[in-house]
Structure 1
Amino acid sequence: MGHAVLGGVAGVVWLVLPVMTSVAQDPVPPTGGGTVAAAPADGVDEAEGASAADYVLPLVAVAAAGVLGGYGYVRRTRRARSRTTPGIISPLPPAPSPVDLERQAGASLVLADDCVRTSREALGHVDADEAVVRALRAAETELSAAFAIWQRYEEGVPEDPAGRRQALVGVVGRCAEAGRQLDAQAAAFDTGWDTGDALTAAEDRFRELAARAGGVQNALAGARARYGPGAVDAVQGYVEQAKDRLVFATGRLNQARQKTDSGDGDGYRRELCAAEGAVAQARVLLGAVTRLVEEVRTAAELVPAALTGAEAELAGLRGTALPVRLAQADVVLAAVRAELTGGPYDPLDALRRVVRAVEGTGGGRTGVIAAGAGLVARSALRAADDFVGVHRGAVGPQARALLAKAGAAAPADADRLARRARELAGRDVRAHGNPFAGQAAHESGLAGVVLGGVLLGEEEDGGPVVAFGGPDTRGRWG
């Protein structure tokens, strides 16, 4: 601004300079040899002739004062505009309320968890660069930290309002960093994905799962007949959902083949990515059924030995200061033993009750009881994780946070937390519904992949497909 003022003064001087020059350089013509005085011209006296020079400096001073006054006005205006005093300018937008910030943190958790899950599935389809793998691991670490902060917040820690607000800000920041890690490697993932024959590999996986579905359904029916419906309720409908995913994959694989034949690279990526997501979820669904059938069978073999071990441990505690606890445990063990001879029963549930009967008595840390505790905890964790993964289009932050906490807990706590997470996730799915639940959407498999988060569900055709990446890149293929 100082340069502008100097420029203004210089301009005024430049304007009046001719006047000053003409006055200063108007010589009196000499006469021959003598000293002469200047003569007034045409009746103009000497005072009037000098008036032009007399006014030059005052004119410059007035002009400079005007320029400086303008400069001061501009500075005062700018200072007023930048001032933060209320009433001078419009106030800043209000800070989000605790409810709004909590909602934002929950949405950030869901989005980051979806991105990590999708990216992890996608890595199973390519020979990824090490940097891509490291990005996923870093994102998983950030997400775990965000879930831990959220869980403490849900438990009331910290207690002061400022600390709780800062905790939610931390959740949002951690989730943003997880997404940034994945976004940064999305292009590298695409490079590795494009170099291989991903379409042929996806078609091979599709055929393998399609052939496997019938055997999985038969195994499920056998377990239901032998142990009762309650033993396999956790995977009820999974085979049918897997078939729906495969129906969807059929159409997308055919479209991908047509796109690659026509040279439509973007279309090829979009269709193949959608097919890969559906095939991956079909694998999860069928795998969950197969695993549960095996876990039920293993639990059935373990229950008699667990009963004997629990009874032996409790016998060693007779006469201690736990008479009420021991009496309760005796009732539980007697009920389980009666079930063994009373017809079909749920072996996993029976094993869980045996393990819990010993809890709090100081026993069950080793041997068959510890093995039973590990089995039921792993089963609950896997069941909850599978359910969230194939219904992530509807599952909210509470269920996901409990599941994350369960993964780091001791077996007894992990079992309880995972079962509660599964319960909350099921409630979210029921409350969410499915806008793509019509007959056509069901027959094409569209309803399932939208609920499973393979497509974002933003349009009538299911919307963009979800690919490897964070929030900024996961929908890049449309």
Structure 2
Amino acid sequence: MTSSPIRARPRGSTAHIRARVVHAVLGVLAGAGWLVLPVMTVNTRDPVPVAPVGTAASSADPQQDETSTADLVLPLVAGTAAVTLAGYGYLRRTRRARTRTTPGIISARPPAPTPADSERQARAALRLADDCVRTSRDELSFVREGFGEKPAEPFTHALRAAETELSAAFAIWRRYEEGLPEDASARRQALVGVIGRCAEAGRRLDAEAGALDRLRGSGEQGVDGQGVGGPEGEARGAGVSLEVAEGRFRDVAVRTVTAQETLGALRERYAHSAAGSVTGYVEQAKDRLLFATARLNEARQAADAGDGPRAARQLRAGEGAVAQAEILVAGVERLAAQLREAAGLVPAALTGAEAELAAARGEGARTALTTGELHARLAYADGVLAAVREELTGGPYDPLDALRRTARAVERVAGTRPGVLDAAELLVARSAVAAAEEFVAVHRGAVGAEARARLAEAARELGEGSAGRADSAAGEARELAERDVRAHGTPYAGAGGDAAGLAGAVLGGILLAEDPDGGPPAGFGGPGTRSRHHLRTTP
């Protein structure tokens, strides 16, 4: 540690200064004593008999005067020199202290972080904690399927606790972005709270990472519900987990083929914008499956050879790819179902919207709008409903977008009311939040804290029943996430052979990009344990 020496230097420097001041004072006192000594001895009696008055006495007076003068000059010179040297040394030390640029020498405490530094730390903490929660959730799904709910219960509790802490951190951060609190000191404390909550979320996951590894380290469970370790036990545990991962791989591979057909049908039946949120999902799912194929095959070979650690490393990477392929395929399936539901709801939503507008015309006095504002908003809403009706009869259209525009147009006039429009707005919000969640999940290696914070806000608003605000926040989250992905690029693009799918694995956060080969796979745990699996092959 370097903090102790840095803190010790000011005390050492102070001690040196004090010592030199003492030396200077002693020099002055010695010089003064030397000056005073001749004076003190002038009036003392000489034991030698006094010489007779005469020429001899008169001739000795000049010699005595010269001796007294010499005795006075030398001490004066010494004292002046001591004072001069002490003053010169003090000035040099003062000038050197003022111009010194070495950090930690002048002050015992490091400089306080600026608000910008604290904000950067908070953003980094939010992103890291969110990554840890998402990765832990993915791996825990395989653990539950392979070992059952009961053995996985401690890890489920840890994950829920981490999710709670992370949600609170995002809520504090959102208020901070909105300018609350206003006091500078309180804002600093808010950032400290964000960082602290994220650290606690990571600590909860780190505390259970070792137990989860022990559970997965054997195909059989001990009396405490934990697995038995050791290379042979790890190999057996990898074999059990491999069966689960390979089963899910086969299932998602079949669903990928179906999803491709479903996506083609959506593009024929609806407007091009209707399937825009899942564009490229099938191709990305195939890329993840290609990566998973290589990793699961290597895990199987390592397990058959009894190399448990290597099997576990490859297995974790394969599981991460399979989990993201499932998310991508499920996104296409989800959108198809929601578009069908929205298409069936559009006619009823239009009827309900017209009824709301008619009521607003008849009860205009109950609104806070002026007559001019009410007429303007009614005219705008009538135009939106007319355009939606024209789209319904004019060919392929986007049902979710039609519901969104209808609900927003009526909300501008009459506010939100229970009924079909409320159901329409909720369906739109659920679709937007799910689309943003899927995109962030499979691109989390590039998505920053701002997009994640907006997504957390959208999920919170949706849970509280504020469908309109949830829809808006989810749209912002998706836009921010797409911007981050474009800025990130694909540093592993073009990799082939053993590195097939590497770019997608790094972009998706499956691999942590700490090494040229993509780095270790992310595992269950917080910042201290999530990178404990390494893909490097032992010689």
Q: Same fold (TM over 0.5)?
A: yes
Match of 2:391 in 1: 339
Instruction: Name the % identity.
Output: 63
CA distance in 2, matches of 1:94, 1:309: 62
Gaps of at least 5 residues in structure 2 are 1-102, 145-150, 220-239, 365-370, 535-539
SS in 2 for 1:359: helix
CA distance in 2, matches of 1:87, 1:278: 47
User: What whole-Å deviation, never above 9, does each CA across 1:273-319 have from its counterpart, x for those lacking one?
Assistant: 00000000000000001111111111111111111110111111114
Q: How many residues align?
A: 393
Q: What is the letter of the counterpart of residue 182 of structure 2?
A: E
Question: What CA RMSD, in Å, does the superposition of the two structures yield over aligned residues?
Answer: 1.7
CA distance in 1, matches of 2:324, 2:496: 20
Contact 2:495 2:502 in 1 (8 A): no
CA distance in 1, matches of 2:412, 2:256: 43
Closer/same/farther in 2, CA of residues 92 and 443 from structure 1, 3 Å limit:
closer
Closer/same/farther in 2, CA of residues 356 and 140 from structure 1, 3 Å limit:
same
Q: What is the letter of the counterpart of residue 185 of structure 2?
A: A
Contact 1:142 1:177 in 2 (8 A): yes
CA distance in 2, matches of 1:377, 1:290: 17
Contact 1:299 1:351 in 2 (8 A): yes
Is 1:230 the counterpart of 2:286? The answer is no
Aligned partner of 1:475 among 526, 531, 535: 531
Q: What is the letter of the counterpart of residue 222 of structure 1?
A: A
Aligned partner of 2:404 among 344, 352, 358: 352
Q: What is the letter of the counterpart of residue 266 of structure 1?
A: P
Gaps of at least 5 residues in structure 1 are 1-85
Match of 1:391 in 2: 443
Aligned partner of 2:252 among 200, 209, 214: 209
Is 1:418 the counterpart of 2:465? The answer is no
User: In the TM superposition, what is the alpha-carbon distance from 1:93 to its structure 2 partner?
Assistant: 1.4
CA distance in 1, matches of 2:126, 2:255: 35
User: In the TM superposition, what is the alpha-carbon distance from 1:367 to its structure 2 partner?
Assistant: 1.8
CA distance in 2, matches of 1:371, 1:396: 32
User: What whole-Å deviation, never above 9, does each CA across 1:156-190 have from its counterpart, x for those lacking one?
Assistant: 11122211111111111110000000000001211
Matches within 5 A, 1:324-335: 324-335=376-387
CA distance in 2, matches of 1:88, 1:100: 22
User: In the TM superposition, what is the alpha-carbon distance from 1:364 to its structure 2 partner?
Assistant: 4.2
Contact 1:405 1:417 in 2 (8 A): yes
Closer/same/farther in 2, CA of residues 88 and 233 from structure 1, 3 Å limit:
closer
Closer/same/farther in 2, CA of residues 263 and 163 from structure 1, 3 Å limit:
same
Match of 2:96 in 1: none
Q: What is the letter of the counterpart of residue 422 of structure 1?
A: R
Match of 1:92 in 2: 109
Match of 1:168 in 2: 191
Match of 1:262 in 2: 305
Higher RCO, Cα 8 Å, sep 6+: 1
SS in 2 for 1:185: helix
Is 1:130 the counterpart of 2:173? The answer is no
Matches within 5 A, 1:54-203: 90-127=107-144, 128-196=151-219, 197-203=240-246
Q: What is the letter of the counterpart of residue 253 of structure 1?
A: L
User: What whole-Å deviation, never above 9, does each CA across 1:296-354 have from its counterpart, x for those lacking one?
Assistant: 11111111111111011111111414222211111111111111111111111011001
Greater shift in the superposed pair: 434-443 or 216-225? 434-443
Match of 1:297 in 2: 340
Q: TM-score, normalised by structure 1?
A: 0.80
Aligned partner of 1:318 among 315, 337, 361: 361
User: In the TM superposition, what is the alpha-carbon distance from 1:192 to its structure 2 partner?
Assistant: 2.5
Contact 1:242 1:286 in 2 (8 A): yes
Match of 1:283 in 2: 326
Closer/same/farther in 2, CA of residues 265 and 324 from structure 1, 3 Å limit:
same
User: In the TM superposition, what is the alpha-carbon distance from 1:122 to its structure 2 partner?
Assistant: 0.9
User: What whole-Å deviation, never above 9, does each CA across 1:341-376 have from its counterpart, x for those lacking one?
Assistant: 111111110110011111133354222111101100
Contact 1:244 1:443 in 2 (8 A): no
CA distance in 2, matches of 1:475, 1:278: 16
Is 1:454 the counterpart of 2:510? The answer is yes
Closer/same/farther in 2, CA of residues 301 and 413 from structure 1, 3 Å limit:
same
Contact 2:433 2:474 in 1 (8 A): yes
User: In the TM superposition, what is the alpha-carbon distance from 1:443 to its structure 2 partner?
Assistant: 7.2
CA distance in 1, matches of 2:159, 2:280: 31
User: What whole-Å deviation, never above 9, does each CA across 1:355-405 have from its counterpart, x for those lacking one?
Assistant: 111113335422211110110000000000010000000001111111111
CA distance in 2, matches of 1:87, 1:284: 50
User: What whole-Å deviation, never above 9, does each CA across 1:205-261 have from its counterpart, x for those lacking one?
Assistant: 101111221111001100101102111010000000000000000000010011111
SS in 2 for 1:323: helix
Contact 1:146 1:175 in 2 (8 A): yes
Contact 2:137 2:159 in 1 (8 A): yes
CA distance in 2, matches of 1:338, 1:370: 23
Contact 1:464 1:475 in 2 (8 A): yes
Match of 1:65 in 2: none
